[in-house]
A and B are shown apart, each in its own frame.
Chain A
């Protein structure tokens, strides 16, 4: 019953440091996503991968890069962390059906940039 698994759960970075958030899903979904959640706001899409081999920008892509390593894994990289990137990050996946995309989330990664 793993679903979407993301690591690490918690991380503190200094400004300018880099790090990669890892995500894997075991539901054989084609599409994967990275969202960030800030206090009082809904989730905002950073990047998504509609299928293996493709990635596209979402609403807030600046300062991030992604890699769709294979069908299961989708990583998010912060090359030079900034305090504005302090947030909770959620990886998600979905399998499109005829009607729409039902999205399933991981448990989140709490990132603090000091």
Chain B
């Protein structure tokens, strides 16, 4: 089946730094979603992308739907300690009604104050 390669697996950064993470696939997706998960909690939706080339922001977060429809990236600007967590990308393949969302393995972000 389709798989998502999410990188990097983990990042250790200093407070105030910008962060970039991405997901790639060998197959196309119709929708890309980005989630953040805090310890002991469920994933929380950050940004949803529905169209190739789309660039969407949510506060300090910016995500883009790649033109080829096979990749997406998430940027976090001016990181703060509460950005710590696991970030997941997720893609919805075509012809699945959006029901069979595939998730990346996650990027663990550590922010040093």
A interface residue numbers (CB < 8 A to B): 4, 31, 33, 40-45, 48, 50, 56, 58-59, 90, 92, 94, 96, 99-108
Contact = CB atoms under 8 A, between A and B. Distances in A.
B92 A42 contact: no
Contact of A42 (B30, B45, B50, B103): B103
* Chain A interface helix/strand/loop/mixed: strand
A48 B98 CA distance: 11
A108 B42 contact: yes
B103 A43 contact: yes
Contact of A100 (B30, B40, B100): B30
Contacts, number: 70
Interface of B: 1, 4, 6, 30-31, 33, 35, 40-45, 48, 50-51, 88, 90, 92, 97-106
A100 B33 CA distance: 10
B98 A100 contact: yes
Contacts of B100: 45, 48, 58-59
Contacts of B44: 105
A50 B101 CA distance: 13
A105 B92 contact: no
A33 B4 CA distance: 20
Given A50-B97, A90-B43, A96-B97, A102 B33 contact: yes
B99 A100 contact: no
Contacts of A40: 105
Contacts of A31: 99
Most buried by B among A58, A94, A102: A102
B42 A106 contact: yes
Nearest to B30: A100
9 contacts: A31-B99, A42-B102, A42-B106, A50-B99, A100-B31, A100-B92, A102-B48, A103-B45, A103-B90
A102 B103 contact: no
